[in-house]
Amino acid sequence: MRGEQGAAGARVLQFTNCRILRGGKLLREDLWVRGGRILDPEKLFFEERRVADERRDCGGRILAPGFIDVQINGGFGVDFSQATEDVGSGVALVARRILSHGVTSFCPTLVTSPPEVYHKVVPQIPVKSGGPHGAGVLGLHLEGPFISREKRGAHPEAHLRSFEADAFQDLLATYGPLDNVRIVTLAPELGRSHEVIRALTARGICVSLGHSVADLRAAEDAVWSGATFITHLFNAMLPFHHRDPGIVGLLTSDRLPAGRCIFYGMIADGTHTNPAALRIAHRAHPQGLVLVTDAIPALGLGNGRHTLGQQEVEVDGLTAYVAGERPDPLGPRSQPACQVAHDPPRACPLCSQGTKTLSGSIAPMDVCVRHFLQATGCSMESALEAASLHPAQLLGLEKSKGTLDFGADADFVVLDDSLHVQATYISGPVLAGCGDPAWCWRAVWEAPVCPAHPISVILPSSVSPWPWHTPMWQTRAVRLPEQLRGGWASGALLALRTATVGSDVRDWCSPTSGVIVLTFSPFEFWGGWLPSPLLTGAVLGTGGTRLALPLFSSLCCKAQLRKCLQVQRDRMVWAPPVGREQPGKNHLPGQGLA
């Protein structure tokens, strides 16, 4: 655990030339760190009369507290709800991989599962500090099985339970010992829920309302009993009605205990909630908004079938559905309404196949933050606080996490102006084998810069006979390695809206694979394949995102496309809807920005 590492003698690091998020504002200040904590430089100056041992120039970037994800079901192929022998290594893998998304602490989430799974898995995931090995585990989030049947969403019906018989004892019998548990999601309309909520709150476990058909009254009573969180607002609850707002009404309820702030999780991936709904919630109660990913094990992987708890889900484009029949290969049409669970399904030739129940999201946390910023038009500080400070406040950790105040743990991310993660810092114990008793401290993850493998960008309009102009929205140009360019000199096109060009790109960028272009076509209503002598395009229109994929049919086959997509899944660009694209820079061949 983090301890006082002989604080007076430890090295002092000073991060200069940066803007830090402090007190709800981005201040032009230096960040001082010592012994894994944020240091007050004034005390250092006047009392200890010391200067920094090391200065790091941040290049004018933003330093924000590390993101805290309180709802993540797995990722990178790991499913937290699977009762394997070695759950710990799965958690460790996810903890390590989400560092690149800027997450420094998280709550692994278990979906509705049979009691045997809980008894096996829960003891294997202890609370753990973060460090170079990965993000810190703050405790488990148990979502279900005490939820409503009608609003179970992707949770398997067979394992739903109630605690009518024995209230808290039922809960203990289902979950086992609650030492590692931090949040429990339940439906307040179930019988004897108030006893359970009170018992859980008394143990310091945060109770969340979700997957419920409760009305506003029941929800308010639950808050009086001790509930403080709403699991993914709008999803898996009754919709807002002007005479009975349901759980959504808690955001503006005046019947809550004085001084109590109700927090609510939102999945800001453009699919789970319409941006307009996101804005309504944000404007009604901005201080309570907590950004969560609700990520499924398919996070970081590609299209195809994956397991989530006891269910099979299907990843298609940027959304995940409960696996039913395979949907039409052309993909859903551009109308976003098709992808949202609705009943009855709208008359749409493409929508009637497969189930359309959403099953968790695969948008990483930094993508959620960016989408939230763009959708609500809020300030950068609000967006960053929604991902860091508010979850910390929910869990009662705002003194040490989610903030860059003096004395807080030094978990922070370095972001550029478009909120892409450049580096993640977590303070941890001194690295083993390091002879210097002071900190050997470096970023636990840094956006890799690989000068040896740059990739070039050439706009489609510059080489193709296609008349339309495709604006590239904030893309970064990178240069292709020399030896790979020959085959596609006639117009290899690649655009990655990401600041990181790293080993993942190296993996798939081989002479036999084609080059994938992600552009923003204003013609997404075309759908399907766009015939062209040089280019073929597959338009995947989903939710708030539009991706047109022109690719060389002669050079690239679908299998490789899929493989490429798998790797680039978490780097997909989120395009604005038609009519709101912003003109980007036109990069001509050879003009890489690297």
Partner 1 sequence: MKLIILEHYSQASEWAAKYIRNRIIQFNPGPEKYFTLGLPTGLPRDHPESYHSFMWNNFFKHIDIHPENAHILDGNAVDLQAECDAFEEKIKAAGGIELFVGGIGPDGHIAFNEPGSSLVSRTRVKTLAMDTILANARFFDGELTKVPTMALTVGVGTVMDAREVMILITGAHKAFALYKAIEEGVNHMWTVSAFQQHPRTVFVCDEDATLELKVKTVKYFKGLMLVHNKLVDPLYSIKEKETEKSQSSKKPYSD
**Active-site annotation holds for 294:** yes
Give the ranges where 254-410 is alpha helix by DSSP (H): 275-284, 365-376, 380-387, 389-394
- Are 34 and 459 spatial neighbours (Cβ–Cβ below 8 Å)? no
Q: For partner 1, which is the closer residue by CB, 12 or 383?
A: 12
Question: For 58, phi and psi rounded to 5 degrees?
Answer: -95, 5
Single-letter amino acid, residue 134: G
Q: For partner 1, which is the closer residue by CB, 41 or 331?
A: 41
Give CA torsion, residues 524, 528, 529, 531, to 10 deg: -70
Q: In angstroms, what is the minimal distance from the CB of 391 to partner 1?
A: 29
Half-sphere exposure of 227 (CA within 13 A, CB side): 27
Which DSSP symbol is given to 187? -
* Cα 500–Cα 506–Cα 509 angle in degrees, nearest 5: 115
Which one of 294, 316, 409, 411 is the catalytic residue?
294
Residue 106 makes CB contacts below 8 A (sequence gap 6+) with 68, 69, 70, 72, 94, 95, 98, 135, 136, 137, 138
Q: In angstroms, what is the minimal distance from the CB of 413 to partner 1?
A: 23
- Strand runs labelled E in 162-241: 181-186, 206-209, 229-230
Q: Where do contacts with partner 1 occur on this chain (CB under 8 A)?
A: 29-30, 41-42, 44-46, 48-51
Q: For partner 1, which is the closer residue by CB, 45 or 468?
A: 45
Q: For partner 1, which is the closer residue by CB, 44 or 280?
A: 44
Q: How far is CA 418 from CA 9, 281, 450, 464, in A?
A: 37, 23, 21, 30
Closest alpha carbon to 380 in 170, 388, 457, 284? 388
d(CA 442, CA 374): 31
- Are 513 and 564 spatial neighbours (Cβ–Cβ below 8 Å)? yes
Three-state SS at 483: helix
Q: For partner 1, which is the closer residue by CB, 30 or 189?
A: 30
Residue 145: is the preceding peptide bond cis (ω within 30°)? yes
Residue whose structure tokens are 């709008």: 234
Q: For partner 1, which is the closer residue by CB, 32 or 372?
A: 32
Q: For partner 1, which is the closer residue by CB, 46 or 583?
A: 46
Q: In angstroms, what is the minimal distance from the CB of 26 to partner 1?
A: 17
Q: For partner 1, which is the closer residue by CB, 48 or 179?
A: 48
Residue 344: is the preceding peptide bond cis (ω within 30°)? yes
Tokens linked to 510: 């081989």
d(CA 196, CA 214): 16
Q: Which of the residues are catalytic?
A: 294
